[in-house]
Amino acid sequence: MAEMQVHGRVFRYGKDVNTDLIIPARYLNIIDVKEQATHTMEDLDPEFPRKVRPGDIVVAEENYGCGSSREEAPLMLKTCGVSAVVAKSFARIFFRNAINIGLPVFESAAAVDAAQAGDELEIDTASGLIRNLTKGQTYQAAPLPEFIQGIIRAGGLVEYVRARVGAK
Amino acid sequence: MPRTITEKILAAHAGRDAVKPGDIITVKVDLVLVNDITGLIADREFRKMGVTKVFDPTKIAIVLDHFVPAKDMASAEQSRISRRFAQEFGIVNFYDVGRAGIEHALLPEQGLVAPGELIIGADSHTVTYGGIGAFSTGVGGTDAAAAMALGETWLRVPETLKFVFQGKLGKWITGKDLVLYTIGQIGVEGARYKAMEFTGEAIQDLSVEGRLTMCNMAIEAGGKSGIVPPDEKTLEYVRPRVRREFKVYQSDPDARYEQVFEWDVTGLEPQVSLPHLPSNAVPVSKVGDVKIDQSVIGSCTNGRIEDLRVAAAILKGQRVHPDVRLIVIPATQDVYKQAMHEGLFDVFVDAGGAVSAPTCGPCLGGYMGILAAGERAISTTNRNFVGRMGDRSSEVYLASPAVAAASAIAGRIVGPEEVL
Ligand code: SF4
């Protein structure tokens, strides 16, 4: 989450997008992350892996990332170049995993309601300010708790632990 | 301040007198769990953390269960990474093929989890151990790696939803029916971020296994954890298995709950969750005429000995419908052996069913019973998402072992009464 500003096109989805849809279990034994990421979202949107470009933003309704604890879900999105996910709400393990691996996630019902596929969004990841450039509207996402911001500031959970144990 | 059982366990592990919902706390963990899939990420991230040893090699469990016995070369490689990790860091509770089983059935059975303990696992169904009065929740592989390094993790103290089940359960009604009913009532995000506390007369009447089944599916309502406050039955189950001190917590009678649901479950019918969400629960009589191609009895939800006994009681002397494949998967080696001794395998095999070694297998569309395009299964597992058990046009209906066994005989989804 080092980037303060992310910018990209909207891929728009509905509610309860589960982690089996984000990356089906049948691909979980692929050890090469890049190869694995070519299957991202394919059961929900077969075009996604081909169409997604670095910076693009996934926008979805309630309960994004429900289901399995697989960390591959946010990791695949990040590997595909997705720069942030904006949803009305997140399932808790997905939310945690996204923070831990450095994929910015934001909750804003208003931003989700207004966003259409292909809209251009710009997000200030520190303040949670979401700008829909296509619609000319601005939304404020709920701020993250201080403890979580600490993990983000450290650069993710791995860096956080490294700092805690005093690793060089 | 009066507190819930969940708040008490969390406070004890945070080294505080009390915690309240919404607090972000750092807690000591009694056990960290990873499996053959999540072990991969845990291994990779752990090695980046700049530590040379795990916090306590006796407080980590590595269970190979999802794609084992190795279903292909990629899975073989994946298992090898966890095996190497276990060796290198001296992990005491390492469970490999032939000595293992599905993690969430295995850990309570082997006494690796106890009432009042705090367990995190890199698998969403880690919530299962609430069935014996522990706080347990699922995290990702990196979280598990951090906990293996530090012996602690951070959590947000959840609000608790209390579910009171009054009344008497019918003959074939199990924990699975109660939890499917619950998810049907509150939806797949009805308990998002929250603890679900299951109480009431019907819960007291349930076996510990049935309670484990219920807590197992708390995650299917979005729950952070599920819990059944311990009673005599819990202690009877735990005492012969756990060889260390543990502490039993109870909710205070005037504890604060975000919401209380109270249902009389007398006369409740067996429940079936239609594709493609666990919340699509309906009574079996309302399912309609749904033909099936496969019936799966197993998983961390319903692969325990009690589940296999129920299935065998219905299948005894009967034949699996010619158009149906019945696949029975005991959840652990101990369950396997017990079922074998009790002659349950004879029943399944004589009926025309296949019995497999313990594995997650078809539950997550791994192997050992994958569905082709358009095929339909009834399954005792916990998820019926699109593509969960195979092709994305296949369908999974969730139910208890009794319904799965009866449906295997009938060739369509029916309750046990229809085949007996
Ligand atoms: S049986 Fe299914 S739900 Fe349980 S741990 Fe295995 S894959 Fe997960």
Q: Test A165 with B78 for CB contact under 8 angstroms.
A: no
Average pLDDT over residues B360-377: 97
B138 Cβ under 8 Å from any chain A Cβ:
yes
Q: What is the pLDDT of residue B403?
A: 98
Query: Does the CB of B393 have a partner CB in chain A at under 8 Å?
Result: no
Question: What totals of helices (H) and strands (E) does chain A contain, helices first?
Answer: 8, 7
Does the pLDDT at position A4 exceed 80?
no
Q: Answer for the pair A91, B189: CB distance below 8 angstroms, yes or no.
A: yes
pLDDT at residue A150, as a whole number: 81
What's chain B's average pLDDT? Answer: 97
- Name the minimum distance, in Å, from the CA of B54 to any CA of chain A: 12
**How many domains would you assign to chain A?**
1
Domain that holds residue A136: 5-166
Work out the end-to-end distance of chain B between its first and last CA atoms, rounded to an integer number of angstroms.
53
What DSSP assignment string belongs to B231-276? -HHHHHHHTTT--S--------TT---SEEEEEE-TTPPPEEEPTT
Please indicate if any CB of chain B lies within 8 Å of the CB of A21. yes
Q: Is B25 a pocket residue for ligand 1 (Cβ < 6 Å)?
A: no
- Within 355-374 of B, beta carbons closer than 8 Å to A belong to 364-366
Reported as a single tens digit per residue, the pLDDT across B24-41 is 899 999 999 999 999 999
Q: Which of A65, A69, A88 is nearest to A17 (CA)?
A: A65
Of B121, B154, B387, the CB nearest to A24: B387
User: What confidence score (pLDDT) does residue B223 get?
Assistant: 96
Nearest 10 degrees: Cα torsion B301, B304, B308, B311: -30
Using a pLDDT cut of 90, give the percent of chain A over it: 73
* A158 in B contact zone (CB under 8 Å): yes
Distance from C-alpha of B208 to C-alpha of B266, rounded to nearest angstrom: 20
Contacts of A145 in chain B (CB under 8 A): 24, 156
Asked if A40 has any chain B CB less than 8 Å from its own CB, the reply is no
Tell whether ligand 1 has an atom less than 6 A from the beta carbon of residue B299.
yes
Taking residues A120-141, what's their average pLDDT? 95
Pairing of strands B294-297, B376-379: parallel
Supply the residue whose CA is at minimum distance from atom 4 of ligand 1. Answer: B300
Distance CA A78, CA A52 (A): 11
State residue A1's pLDDT score.
43
Look up the pTM and report it.
Answer: 0.93
Report the percent of chain B where pLDDT is more than 70: 100
Average pLDDT value for residue range B232-245:
97
Question: Which amino acid would we find at residue A26?
Answer: R
- If residue B341 lies in a helix (H) or strand (E), which one and from where to where? helix B333-341
Q: Is the CB of B300 under 6 A from ligand 1?
A: yes
- Chain B environment of A71 (Cβ under 8 Å): 38, 41, 122, 140-142
State in Å: Cα B123 to ligand 1 middle.
8
Mean pLDDT for the stretch of residues B82-93: 98
- Cis ω before B125 (30° cut-off from 0): no
A49 contacts A42 by C-beta, under 8 angstroms: yes
Which of A120-134, A141-155, B163-177, B316-330 shows the lowest mean pLDDT across its residues?
A141-155
Q: CB of B364 closer than 6 A to ligand 1?
A: yes
Res A3: pLDDT: 55
CB B218 within 8 A of CB B182: no
Q: Which of residues 104-143 of A touch B (CB under 8 A)?
A: none
**Residue A20 CB contacts under 8 Å (≥ 6 apart), including other chains:** A43, A67, A68, B364, B365, B383, B385, B386, B387, B388
pLDDT tens readout for residues B175-203: 999 999 999 999 999 999 999 999 999 99
Pair type for strands A105-107 and A84-87: parallel
pLDDT, tens digit (0-9, with 9 covering 90-100), for A85-127: 999 999 989 999 999 998 989 999 999 999 999 999 999 988 8
Mean pLDDT for the stretch of residues B366-372: 97
* Domain CATH code at residue A145: 3.20.19.10
Measure the CA–CA gap between B51 and B45, rounded to whole angstroms.
11
The model's pLDDT over B38-51, given as tens digits with 9 standing for 90+, comes to 999 999 999 999 99
Which residues in B355-394 are b (16+ Cβ under 10 Å) and which e?
Answer: bbbbbbbbbbbbbbbbbeeebbbbbbbbbbbbbbbbbbeb
Task: Compute the distance from residue A14 Cα to the ligand 1 centre, in Å.
Answer: 26
Query: CA A114 → CA A7, A11, A65, A85, distances in Å?
Result: 17, 13, 21, 15
Ligand 1 centroid to Cα of residue A49, in Å, is 27
Contact residues, chain A, for B300 at CB < 8 Å: none
Pick the residue whose CA is nearest to atom 5 on ligand 1: B300
Query: Cα separation of A85 and A7, whole Å?
Result: 12
Mean pLDDT, rounded, for B404-411: 98
CB-ligand 1 contact for B384 (6 Å cutoff): no
Q: Does the CB of A34 have a partner CB in chain B at under 8 Å?
A: no
CA A70–ligand 1 middle distance (angstroms) = 12
* Domains along the sequence of chain B with CATH: 5-262 (3.30.499.10), 271-418 (3.30.499.10)
Segment among A67-71, B12-16, B169-173 with least mean pLDDT: A67-71
User: Which of the two residues, A143 and B109, has the higher pLDDT score?
Assistant: B109
Q: Does B385 lie at the interface with A, CB-CB under 8 angstroms?
A: yes
Determine which of B40, B142, B155, B219 to mutate to test the interface with A (most A C-beta atoms within 10 Å): B142
Whole-number Å distance between alpha carbons of B238 and B369: 33
> ipTM of this model?
0.88
- Binary contact (B222, A66; C-beta < 8 A): yes
Chain B closest-CA separation from residue A58 CA (Å): 20
The percentage of chain A sitting over the pLDDT mark of 70, rounded to a whole number, equals: 98
Which of A135-149, B42-56, B79-93, B257-271 has the least mean pLDDT?
Answer: A135-149
CA triple A27-A28-A34, angle to 5 deg: 75
Q: Are B385 and A67 in contact (CB under 8 A)?
A: yes
Query: pLDDT digits over B253-271, tens only?
Result: 999 999 999 999 999 999 9
| pLDDT value of residue B38 | 94
